[in-house]
Structure 1
Amino acid sequence: MAASDLLVGITDPFLRRTIQFHFPYSLLNITPVCAATEVLVFATTAVSVWLTVAFTFDRFVAICCEKLKTRYCTERTAAVIIGAVSVLGCLENVPLWFKYDSANEFDNLPWDCSVKSTYYTSSAWVAYNVTHRVLTPCIPFFLILLLNVLTARRIVAASRVRRGLRGRSNGENDKDPEMENRRKSIVLLFSITASFMLLWGPQAIFFIFTGIAKVGVDYTPTGYYYITEVTSVFLQLLSTCTNTCIYVVTQSKFRAELMNAVKFPVGVIRALGNNLKLRNESKYIAVCAVI
């Protein structure tokens, strides 16, 4: 999930909104490359959202489904789910490549991306656009909320039983490590749910409102439509950063793995430096022996 969120941060704010905008004559503005960038932006966003759903379902199975837990919560299953979500997320957004046409021509090359007029009039494109919005983020909204409510209810019920068995209902304040782990699980689940719904909510509401109202839109920089759209997109992009921050704050294993990822390049560079140093010393010894 952290990797998919990082890809969203690279493709959308950096490639599409920074490079293409501030460097209009870069290779990214060639029409096929520009269209491919758009597909990549939406694909990484869809993968990020659905991996959040997959993570939520994994926690639901681990906590609420004891019989399924041993078969489902494995590294092999996780790899299969991540691969399937990534492939399906990319395939679902491939049609967006055909949404764009060239706006200009420069050195006999199609330049810039312009939305085809048929995108607004074709019933096929309208159906695809609605399906795309339903898949991301409407269905994930419902699934994440439902699974987290069921998981939290199971944790609370199990915690009450455990407190009763340990005699904690009489007001004792002894610390229970298992209860602390369950409390952290509830905080993690609801933090992810709340951040996802709060940051994706404005864009979902904006899409529904514009689809129902069908009023004239004002795309001027001071128009309410433009400001609302930009704000909703900003919050949606911000959601790709929150999950990683939540993991860093709440999960010690994630922090350990993150530190290992940071230390890995340093270790590789150090190993290469030691090998180079040994080779130089070997050459020096060989030269001295010849002399």
Structure 2
Amino acid sequence: MYPGYGWGWWLDDTSTVACHATWPVHHTLVNASTWFIVAFTVERCVVVRFPLLKLRLCTPRNAGLCCGSLLVLAFVKNFDLFFVNDIVIDTDSENVHCTVPLRYLDYMNKYRLKITVITTWIIPTCVVFVCNWAIIRTLRRDLMQTAVRDSIVRHTTVMCLAVSFAFFVCVSPANVFYVVMPNWPMSLQNQRYTFGYLVVLRYANHAVNFFLYSLTGAHFRCELVALFRRCIQRENVSTAVFPRARRDFGTYLEMH
């Protein structure tokens, strides 16, 4: 989108294959990343409210199955986008554009728009809100003494709340504009630019998560520092060992 708005070069306008593939891939990744946040919030809710189920449900294997399933479901949900776009030649400027033909406009504005708003904004926002409300209520009532005393649980829960709040602030404007855009008294160019800014804000939600994890998650910071230390130590060991290994190999060749 950056080269499109900055220099007028759009990837989906380059070929028919790109026109049919860009939108479904784009929306699949956006929808899956949104539901990853929902799954993370649900996992935090299970850990705080049902700590006895944590060891059985919150495992790396289940996390991988959940993420894979969400990615497949997002692809199925956006599979129709492979067929609704087509290359159109502007008769006035003779420019090639990837756009929705007139025969699909009614479907995109009425049905597809509602499905997108419900599945990628309303339902995720409600699930995140309910889970965070349950987490806060449990911690305030101090029902789970062991969970409240566990610093990892507390810090990860705060991290979850920060990520959820950022999700609501960054994702909501673009979805609201989705709803009002068909009836908004704006020119097509202004609609594209406004939508572009809001989409960048939506992308910022995913980019800022790493920094939210670092600021609010003490356990995350410790693991991150340990990771960098292992990488630095491995690099130092490689630098020290490899020259010696080359010298020994050269001596071996001279002797034989």
TM-score by length of structure 2 reads 0.79
Specify the SS of the correspondent of 1:154.
Answer: helix
Map residues 31-110 of structure 1 onto 2, 5 A cutoff: 31-103=16-88
* Structure 1 residue 80 displacement after superposition: 1.1
Structure-1 separation of matches of 2:11 and 2:201: 28
CA shift digits 1:35-91 (9 cap, x unpaired): 323222211111110000000000001111244333211122111111111221222
One-letter code aligned to 2:178: F
The answer on 1:252 being equivalent to 2:218 is yes
The answer on 1:280 being equivalent to 2:246 is yes
Structure-1 separation of matches of 2:241 and 2:22: 40
Aligned position for 2:196: 230
Aligned position for 1:191: 162
User: Cα 1:25–1:18, aligned 2, differ >3 Å: closer, same or farther?
Assistant: closer
Mean Cα displacement is larger for which, 91-100 or 225-234?
Answer: 225-234
* Structure 1 residue 190 displacement after superposition: 2.5
The answer on 1:217 being equivalent to 2:186 is yes
Aligned position for 1:239: 205
User: Cα 1:25–1:183, aligned 2, differ >3 Å: closer, same or farther?
Assistant: closer
Contact 2:20–2:85 at 8 Å: present in 1 too?
A: yes
Structure-1 separation of matches of 2:136 and 2:130: 10
List alignment gaps of at least 5 residues for structure 1: 1-15, 105-110, 163-176
User: Cα 1:27–1:233, aligned 2, differ >3 Å: closer, same or farther?
Assistant: closer
Specify the SS of the correspondent of 1:35.
Answer: helix
Contact 2:12–2:98 at 8 Å: present in 1 too?
A: no
Specify the SS of the correspondent of 2:142.
Answer: helix
Aligned position for 1:12: none
The answer on 1:202 being equivalent to 2:173 is yes
Aligned position for 1:141: 125
One-letter code aligned to 2:77: E
User: Cα 1:262–1:128, aligned 2, differ >3 Å: closer, same or farther?
Assistant: farther
Aligned position for 1:5: none
The RMSD of aligned alpha carbons is 3.5
User: Cα 1:189–1:131, aligned 2, differ >3 Å: closer, same or farther?
Assistant: same
* Structure 1 residue 158 displacement after superposition: 0.9
The answer on 1:118 being equivalent to 2:133 is no
Aligned position for 1:17: 2
Specify the SS of the correspondent of 1:94.
Answer: coil
User: Identity over the aligned pairs, expressed in percent?
Assistant: 20
CA shift digits 1:238-283 (9 cap, x unpaired): 1112222111112233234445665677677667767753553244
Mean Cα displacement is larger for which, 94-103 or 20-29?
Answer: 20-29
* Structure 1 residue 206 displacement after superposition: 1.6
Structure-2 separation of matches of 1:24 and 1:103: 16
Aligned length: 249
One-letter code aligned to 2:134: L
Mean Cα displacement is larger for which, 145-154 or 19-28?
Answer: 19-28
Contact 2:162–2:212 at 8 Å: present in 1 too?
A: yes
Contact 1:155–1:182 at 8 Å: present in 2 too?
A: no
